[in-house]
Amino acid sequence: MMDTVLDLVRLDSHSKQEKPVAEYLVRALGELGVSVRVDDAGTKVQGNTGNVIAALPATGSGEPLLLSAHMDVVPPGMSVKPICEPDRIRSDGTTILGGDDKTGVTIILEVLRTIAERDLRHGPIEVAFTICEEIGLLGARHLDFAAIQSKEAIVLDSSQASQLVTAAPSSDHFSITVHGLEAHAGMCPENGISAVRVAAEAIAAMPLGRVDAQTTANVVVAAGPTATNVVPNLCVVRGEARSLRDDRLDEVMRSIRAAFTDAAARATITLNGEIRRAWIEEQCEREYQSFHIPADAGAVQLVMRAARRLGATVETIAIGGGSDANVFNKHGITSVNLGTGMRDIHTVNEWIDLADFYRSAEIVLECIKERAAA
C-alpha cells in the first residue's frame, strides 16, 4: 500500500488530466487478470482519459458490490514530492499531497490484490475509478450506469476510517452577471451605474458562510473590467449553496436571487431624460443531489458488521461536502462513503494517517469476505 500510494501521488492528475493515473491503473488491474476498460467520459468532458471501469467475476456467492474512488486532485497538485514519516505521509508544503483521493484508489487496488493473493471467495466486484470528481463529479455523472450491476457501493473518499458518511448535501452552483452602465470615473461618474457596487450590495445582503447547521453558501467575484478610470458596466459573481435539506437550499437560493434583484432595482439614474437601470442575468444548476441513507440499509450494516469483526468502531455521519456517492445514490445505487486516512485535504499541509489508511483497507476487505459469507 505504501509503494502504491507513493507511486500514485507522484503522478500528475489535475482534473481532465488524469491519464497517467488511468494508465497506471489499467496496467495494475491487467496484472491481476481483472477485466478493465476506459469509458468515453473523458471525451464528454474534454479530458485526456475516461473513467477506469473494472469487474471481478464472482468465485462464490454474494450480491454485486461497487467500489469507487476518484483519480483527480485539486491544484496545486503537480510534481508532488511526498515525505514519509513513521506514522504518516505528508506533502512538502509546496503542493497538495493528493491523498484525496489516491488513498481511496490505493485501498481498492490493495483489496483486489489481497483477494488474488489469498484466493478469497467473493461475490461479483465492480470498480469505478472516476475522473473530474473535484470539478463537479463529472466522471460519475457521465458513467454508463446501464453497465453497472451493483445496487450497493462503498465509495472511498472521506477522512477518518472510523466514520461512514451516510448523508451529504445537494449543491446549487450559480453565476450571476450584473450589468451596469459605463462612464468616465473621474469626469462624470454620476452618469454611470457601477456593476461592482450593485454586486457588492447584493453580496452584503445575501446569506453567506454557515447559514444554519445543515446549510452553507459561498461566493466569489469572478470577472469584470479592470480599468480604474471607467465605471464598471459588468461584474460576474459565481457561487454555490449547499444543504442537507433540499427545501432549505431552495429558500437560500431564492434569498440570493432576491438580493441581486433588489440591488439592481435600486441602481437607477436618469440620463438625457431617459431612466437607465442595472439588470442581471442568472445561470443556476443543481450540480448534485443530496442523499440520506438509513442506518438499517444493507450497505451501512455491511460496513458496521465488518468493522465489528475487526474490533473497530465506525459511526455514521453527515457531511457538508459532495462526492461520487451523491451521483451513485441518485442512480439507485445505495452508496456510503468510508474514510481513508486523508487529512487537511485541499491544502498544502495535506497528510495521510497511515494507521487509518490501513484500517480502512482492512474494513473494505472484511466487507468483501462478509458479503461472500452471508
pLDDT digits (tens, 9 = 90+) for 126-164: 999 999 999 999 999 999 998 899 999 999 999 999 999
Spatial distance between the Cα atoms of 58 and 370, rounded to a whole number of angstroms: 14
Spatial distance between the Cα atoms of 48 and 20, rounded to a whole number of angstroms: 9
By the 10 Å C-beta count (0-12 exposed, 13-18 middle, 19+ buried), 324 is classed as buried
Q: For the chain, give the longest Cα–Cα distance.
A: 85
Residues annotated as part of the active site: 72, 133
C-alpha angle 27-29-33 in degrees, rounded to nearest 5: 110
pLDDT digits (tens, 9 = 90+) for 41-75: 999 999 999 999 999 999 988 899 999 999 999 99
Work out the percent of the chain whose per-residue pLDDT is above 90: 97
Q: What is the pTM of this model?
A: 0.93
Q: Alpha-carbon torsion 307, 298, 150, 128, what sign?
A: negative
Q: Terminal CA-to-CA distance of the chain, rounded, Å?
A: 28
pLDDT digits (tens, 9 = 90+) for 9-32: 999 999 999 999 999 999 999 999
Q: How many CB atoms lie within 10 A of CB 373?
A: 11
pLDDT digits (tens, 9 = 90+) for 267-313: 999 999 999 999 999 999 999 999 999 999 999 999 999 999 999 99
Model confidence at 374, pLDDT cuts 50, 70, 90, reads low
* Torsion from C-alpha of 89, 94, 96, 102, nearest 10 degrees: -50
pLDDT digits (tens, 9 = 90+) for 86-139: 999 999 999 999 999 999 999 999 999 999 999 999 999 999 999 999 999 999
Spatial distance between the Cα atoms of 8 and 69, rounded to a whole number of angstroms: 13
Which domains are delineated in the chain? 2-168+290-373 (3.40.630.10), 170-287 (3.30.70.360)
Please identify which residue in the block is written with the cell numbers 497538485.
Answer: 77
Spatial distance between the Cα atoms of 74 and 346, rounded to a whole number of angstroms: 6
Q: Which residues have CB under 8 Å from 195's CB, separation 6+?
A: 178, 179, 180, 224, 232, 233, 234, 235, 278
